[in-house]
Amino acid sequence: MANRLKNIDITTNTTGKRHYRQIKFPEIPEDSSDLYIITTEGDRLDLIANHFYRDTSLWWVIVQANVGVLKGDEVALKGGIQLRIPSTPEIIIRNFEKINNRRSI
């Protein structure tokens, strides 16, 4: 699975202590063009992201679209879970970059 800490800003103060800036994720409203899938035993978020977005690092988009259904730390999924797959990851990524003052992820 892609490095979950890739987008965390780490700064060090003058004493050498590390500080981590919290990442904010955008809300992902439902859209009539979103897809819905049912997981099978052993499905993984990174592979689902790769299948639909051709990018394993976009697993977090699926997690954010399914708050209350998934935990952010799940890797292998149980079978029978209905997941919403947002159809506009480009917009979601732009919103992520905007609220976190980033140019790209």
Q: Report the C-alpha gap between 10 and 75 in whole angstroms.
A: 24
Phi–psi pair at 20, nearest 5 degrees = -110, 130
- Residue 45: name the closest of 64, 25, 63 by CA: 63
- pLDDT at 4 exceeding the cut of 70: no
Portion of the chain with pLDDT greater than 70, in percent: 88
Q: What is the CATH number of domain 30-95?
A: 3.10.290
pLDDT 10s digits, 54-88: 999 999 999 999 999 987 677 789 999 999 999 99
How do the domains of the chain map onto residue ranges?
30-95
Q: With beta carbons less than 8 A apart as the criterion, state whether 105 and 93 touch.
A: yes
Q: With beta carbons less than 8 A apart as the criterion, state whether 73 and 66 touch.
A: no
